[in-house]
Amino acid sequence: MGELVAVPASQASPSLRLFTMTKPQQIPGDNIVNLSSLVELKLVDILQDGRHATELPSSYVVDVRRKTDGSRPARSAGKCVVKTFPRDKRNQEFFRHEVQAYSRLTGDVTYNSAQEAVDTLFDTLSELKPKHGWPRCLGYLAVPTGMDDYEFEWTDMAEAATAKGQTQNALLLEYIPGLTPVNFKMLNATLIEDILDVLAQLQEEGIVHRANINPAVWPKPGIRNIYVRCSKPGARGVPFVTNFGNAMVLGDSAQERRQMEAEMEDLEYHLKRGMEGKLLVDEVPREVQILLGDSS
């Protein structure tokens, strides 16, 4: 039988305890709720298949509904994103960081039971509108490996994982359609300011993101996990930050404040240099040019 990591009641606590996936969650005060065996999902689309290169988290668009039990209508509540995390040590670290960040961002929410949380979710999901510059976390659950095997049928993923004997942790996230990765050609001073404002909001919650620039493309500027959504063609884009697998929840010490300031400065520098079509450095050392294959 697989095990699922449960979210601690203290949203700032770094510790996670093991939680058997077939046992219903009864922990009042947990602000990210175990939805296993309380919902059914139907796969709609694959947003990111992390199995193509080195194994990474995968993301799927799903329809979600209450589990059919004969006493409640089995209607779809709407679309969500399921982000799955393979069971290896690296991906479980990603999961732990995401849970800690979303627990802080979710804030104080108290449910008397997991069923109450599910009822609240289904009563509000169809009217849920993007509220912040990041997707909301709606809960967590156990899912089987190979989610794409369940594309056209409603499935209790926790039961499917038990039957298959291969379980992954997963987060159920708000689905925000129409997101486009930010590229330097679309940047202007206003959009840069809006992106930095989202990062500032995260930092006000004590979150340092740690995955919004791409050092692998140095000396070129590089950004990642930053998207923009336009309500209609020509409208001002609204930025969103995703992927909290490297995020950390920090306190208010001078060192931690400096860490946040450094992240803000680095992202601003990459955005502005990219918008201007410039490298991160004014002169690339000769030995670096050779390594990059540019000997001109």
Q: What per-residue confidence (pLDDT) applies to 15?
A: 31
Domain ranges of the chain: 3-174, 179-275
Q: What per-residue confidence (pLDDT) applies to 23?
A: 35
Which of 15-24, 155-164, 245-254 has the weakest average pLDDT? Answer: 15-24
Which of 40-44, 221-225, 274-278 has the weakest average pLDDT? Answer: 40-44
Domain 179-275 is of which CATH architecture? Orthogonal Bundle (1.10)
Whole-number percent of the chain with pLDDT over 90: 49
pLDDT beyond 60 at 227? yes
Q: How far is CA 274 from CA 117, 150, 200, 220, 263, in A?
A: 43, 41, 20, 8, 16
Contact 240, 130 (CB under 8 A): yes
Q: How many of the other CB atoms lie within 10 Å of CB of 250?
A: 17
Q: What is the mean pLDDT of residues 123-135?
A: 75
Lookup: tokens for 171: 């987060």
pLDDT beyond 70 at 198? yes
Whose structure tokens read 């799955």? Answer: 84
Q: What is the pTM of this model?
A: 0.82
Q: What per-residue confidence (pLDDT) applies to 294?
A: 62
pLDDT beyond 90 at 206? yes
Pick from 170, 203, 123, 168: which is nearest to 7 by CA? 170
User: Would you place residue 127 in the very low, low, confident or very high pLDDT band (cuts 50, 70, 90)?
Assistant: low
Q: What is the mean pLDDT of residues 221-236?
A: 87
pLDDT beyond 70 at 114? yes
Higher pLDDT, 12 or 92: 92
Q: Which helix (H) or strand (E) holds 195?
A: helix 189-204
Which of 4-8, 175-179, 241-245 has the weakest average pLDDT? Answer: 4-8
Give DSSP secondary structure letters for 63-99. Answer: EEEEPP-SSS---EEEEEEEEEE-SSHHHHHHHHHHH
